[in-house]
């Protein structure tokens, strides 16, 4: 069986302790492609490439079965502005 959305969420939650995490299975359910939006304090002081590396390293075991991982956002809590707050 392929990687599930829950597998990705569990691994990222335990490793990077995000304050916001959204994982979307874009493979149609086979677990081969995911989009990730993550906000974590562990990204503080790190450049975008370093943040992406942290995510990829956290998912190293799952990446053996994932064909595509799109990290849409990798932000610090200070950078994160949920859309509903921006509309107030």
The model's pLDDT over 62-77, given as tens digits with 9 standing for 90+, comes to 999 999 999 999 999 9
Question: What does the mean pLDDT of the chain come to?
Answer: 91
Is the pLDDT at 30 greater than 60, yes or no?
A: yes
Query: What are the residue boundaries of the structural domains of the chain, listed by start?
Result: 5-75
The domain made up of 5-75 has a fold known as GMP Synthetase; Chain A, domain 3 (3.30.300)
pLDDT band at 82 (very low <50, low <70, confident <90, very high): low
Q: Strand locations in the chain, DSSP E?
A: 20-25, 33-39, 68-75
Instruction: Decide: 59 and 12 in contact? Cβ < 8 Å.
Output: yes
Q: What separation in angstroms does the CA of 65 have from each of 27, 29, 49, 80?
A: 12, 13, 22, 30
pTM for the model stands at 0.87
């Amino acid at each position: 069986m392929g990687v599930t959305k829950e597998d990705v969420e569990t691994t990222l939650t335990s490793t990077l302790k995000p304050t916001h995490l959204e994982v979307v299975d874009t493979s149609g359910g086979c677990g081969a492609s995911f989009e990730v939006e993550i906000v974590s304090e562990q990204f503080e002081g790190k450049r975008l490439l370093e943040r992406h590396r942290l995510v990829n390293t956290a998912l190293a075991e799952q990446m053996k079965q994932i064909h595509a991982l799109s990290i849409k956002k990798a932000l610090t809590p200070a950078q994160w502005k949920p859309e509903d707050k921006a509309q107030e």
